[in-house]
Amino acid sequence: MKSKNFNIANTITASRIILMPFLFIFVIQENRSAFLTGYIIVGSTDFFDGWIARKLNQVTKLGKMLDSIADIFFYIPTAWFLMVLYPAYIMPNILFLIGAFLVYFTSFIVSIIKIGKPIMMHTSLLRFNAVLVFAMVILSYFMDTTYLLTFILINFMIGFTESILIFLKFGHVDVDTKSIFTLFKRKKLLNIDPSDLIPKSKRVL
């Protein structure tokens, strides 16, 4: 019987890792046009794998783990890509970049300590920021994105700080949790007396 892990969504996610070497080649060759095309193709898989997984009911634990790994292979090298191709946009933001990476790796360390393994959350803020990174790299080909990069890096620091707080407060949760506020709301709901959820008109007096 064919494993449910071998599906279209996971194949698309895996392609994000498999195609990454081509981006390195284009950057080393300083072929910005080829890099732009390749980056759009590879980056688009981050949208389509999740969309297809939900559409075809192919959401799996392996898929979520693979998506996190693919994100690491895709978004961390993006900083290097920008450093090589567009250093004028990176250098004014170098302190923000260092700060973002420090908080990023701290979130991994905290997850290892609290949960026993490195976890990358896919909160709404981090998903939104991933879209901004994708757009920024494309826009960098056409315009100066220095200030957009500043905004993105600050958002990343906030997003990964939120991840750290989630690990510290709630431990192991679904990586696709929207925000820490969602968890607080859920916890508050679970602590409510079940009878309080029943409309007064239907309560037995």
106-126 residue pLDDT tens: 999 999 999 898 888 989 999
Domain coordinates of the chain in residue numbers? 1-85, 87-193
Model confidence band, residue 86 (pLDDT cutoffs 50, 70, 90): very high
Whether the per-residue pLDDT at 45 is higher than 70: the answer is yes
pLDDT at 205 over 90: no
What's the whole-number mean pLDDT along residues 75-81?
A: 92
pLDDT at 103: 97
Region at 57 (left for phi over 0; alpha for psi -120 to 50; beta for the rest): left
Mean of the pLDDT values across residues 75-83? Answer: 92
Range list of β-strands (E), the chain: none
The predicted pLDDT at position 63 comes to 78
pLDDT at position 69 is 86
Residue 200 has pLDDT above 70, yes or no: no
Instruction: Tell me the DSSP string of 32-59.
Output: HHHHHHHHHHHHHHHHHHHHHHHHTT--
